[in-house]
């Protein structure tokens, strides 16, 4: 295990962003409120995109909040240092809370609550490529040095927040519950407006056409890339090196085709098929996985 990581109940976490005390507090003591909205993702799956969508929906299409307050204050990542203690005192209603936590170590007080979960999933091949670049530019992850190493760790779950497969299977057990909605990064790309309307419906928010247009405009890749409240250029230097790779990198579907060799792709498909063989839900990327 890299000395950049430590382990909480069998899952790795970056030492620079999560302490074991914080993780235990989140799991055992943090009190979920019924009006909380959880933005849950495996890393690099559309987390920050969803923060922008949820923030501007909360303000009925008015972009001021998104343009003046950093995303980590609008929808904090609960597992990061000191955040759960801070959120505990927040009088914001509803609280928008972001998390990469796997289901099995999510907060106990979530069980039986009416808090809503929006779970965003991305083609794991693109997730892995995005993670490869993030690991190079941020201090939180070990530099994988090569795509081979990156894929090996990604597919074995030997990385922060654990296995993509376990994450997806764990959270998707909530499918069918009224307070759970899932969609894919690819859905957002294909039909952003339709996705925003679905999310509003799930949240019980009624936005008129003009407000929906505003959401769609402000959460475009171009606008987010230029917004300092989103692109992480406001973080103190030393956390992310935007010269190595910008956080808002490419924002496209299928970038793995520009990165994987034939052998890497076959290896990926083999593991994917084995891990997902009993999984019933269909995803947009299924057709690109060779059986
Ligand atoms: S993190 O670090 O886990 O919070 O990262 P996360 O936000 O989940 O994922 C970052 C990737 O999402 C892309 N992104 C977008 N794509 C399209 N449109 C919009 N608006 C958008 N916002 C973020 C971002 O570019 C990262 O993907 P890659 O493939 O690296 O470009």
Per-residue pLDDT reduced to its tens digit, 55-85: 999 999 999 999 999 999 999 999 999 999 9
Mean pLDDT of 241-256: 97
How many Cβ atoms are within 10 Å of 286's Cβ, its own excluded? Answer: 12
| Whole-prediction pTM | 0.98
In a domain, 12, yes or no: no
| Active-site pick, 6, 93, 100, 149 | 100
The answer to whether position 5 is within a domain reads no
pLDDT of residue 14: 98
Distance between Cα 221 and ligand 1 center (Å): 9
Specify the number of domains making up the chain: 1
Q: What is the mean pLDDT of residues 27-40?
A: 98
What is the per-residue pLDDT across 128-166, written as a single tens digit (0 to 9) for each? 999 999 999 999 999 999 999 999 999 999 999 999 999
Whether residue 248 has its Cβ less than 6 Å from ligand 1 = yes
Query: For residues 236, 240, 245 and 246, what is the CA-based torsion angle, rounded to 10 degrees?
Result: -40
pLDDT of residue 291: 87
Is the CB of residue 8 below 6 angstroms from any atom belonging to ligand 1?
Answer: no
Of 16, 48, 66, 122, the residue with max ligand 1 atoms within 8 A of its CB, to mutate for a pocket test, comes to: 48
pLDDT of res. 152: 97
Q: Is 6 inside any structural domain?
A: no
d(CA 174, CA 117): 9
Top mutation candidate among 13, 42, 44 for ligand 1, by most atoms within 8 Å of CB: 44
The predicted pLDDT at position 97 comes to: 98
Identify which of 21, 28, 38, 115 has the alpha carbon closest to the alpha carbon of residue 75.
38
Asked if 100 is an active-site residue, the reply is yes
Ligand 1 in contact with 137 (CB < 6 A)? no
Which pLDDT tens digit goes with each residue over 169-226? 999 999 999 999 999 999 999 999 999 999 999 999 999 999 999 999 999 999 999 9
In a domain, 11, yes or no: no
CATH number where 120 lies:
3.40.50.300
Q: What is the dihedral of CA 215, 216, 222, 225, to 10 degrees?
A: 40
**Which segments of 15-154 are extended strands (E)?**
37-41, 96-99, 116-121
Between helix 192-203 and helix 209-218 the angle, nearest 10°, is: 120
Q: Which domain holds residue 210?
A: 17-288
- Give which of 242, 241, 247, 220 is closest to 66, Cα–Cα: 220
Structure-block tokens of residue 17: 């962003």
pLDDT of res. 283: 97
Residue range 81-113, pLDDT digits in tens: 999 999 998 988 999 999 999 999 999 999 999
Evaluate whether 81 touches 22 at the Cβ level (below 8 Å): yes
Distance between CA 15 and CA 121 in Å, rounded? 25
Does residue 173 form part of some domain? yes
Task: Confirm whether 185 is domain-assigned.
Answer: yes
- Ligand 1 within 6 A of CB of 255: yes
Give the model's confidence band at 53: pLDDT under 50 very low, under 70 low, under 90 confident, else very high. Answer: very high
**Of 1 and 165, which is predicted with more confidence?**
165
The answer as to whether 44 is a domain residue is yes
pLDDT of residue 2: 81
* pLDDT value, residue 1: 74
């Amino acid at each position: 295990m890299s000395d950049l990581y430590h382990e909480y109940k069998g899952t790795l976490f970056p030492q620079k962003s999560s302490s074991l005390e914080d993780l235990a507090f989140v799991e055992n003591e943090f009190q979920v409120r019924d009006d909380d909205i959880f933005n849950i993702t495996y890393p690099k799956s559309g987390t920050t995109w969803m923060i922008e969508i949820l923030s501007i929906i909360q303000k009925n299409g008015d972009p001021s909040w998104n343009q003046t307050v950093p995303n980590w204050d609008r929808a904090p990542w609960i597992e990061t240092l000191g955040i759960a203690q801070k959120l505990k005192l927040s009088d914001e209603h509803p609280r928008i809370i972001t998390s990469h936590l796997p289901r099995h170590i999510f907060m106990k007080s979530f069980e039986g609550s009416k808090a809503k979960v929006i779970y965003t999933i991305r083609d794991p091949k693109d997730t892995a490529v995005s993670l490869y670049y993030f690991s190079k530019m941020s201090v939180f992850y070990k530099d994988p040095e090569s795509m081979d190493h990156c894929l090996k760790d990604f597919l074995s779950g030997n990385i922060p927040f654990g296995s993509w497969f376990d994450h997806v299977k764990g959270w998707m057990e909530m499918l069918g519950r009224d307070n759970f909605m899932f969609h894919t990064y690819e859905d957002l790309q294909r039909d952003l407006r339709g996705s925003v309307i679905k999310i509003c419906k799930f949240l019980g928010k009624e936005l008129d056409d003009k407000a929906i247009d505003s959401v769609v405009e402000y959460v475009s890749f171009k606008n987010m890339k230029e917004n300092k409240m989103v692109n992480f250029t406001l973080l103190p230097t030393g956390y992310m090196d935007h010269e190595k790779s910008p956080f808002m990198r490419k924002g496209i579907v299928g970038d793995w085709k520009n990165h994987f060799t034939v052998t890497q792709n076959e290896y990926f498909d083999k593991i994917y098929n084995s891990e997902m063989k009993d999984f019933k839900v269909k995803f947009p990327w299924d057709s690109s996985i060779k059986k």
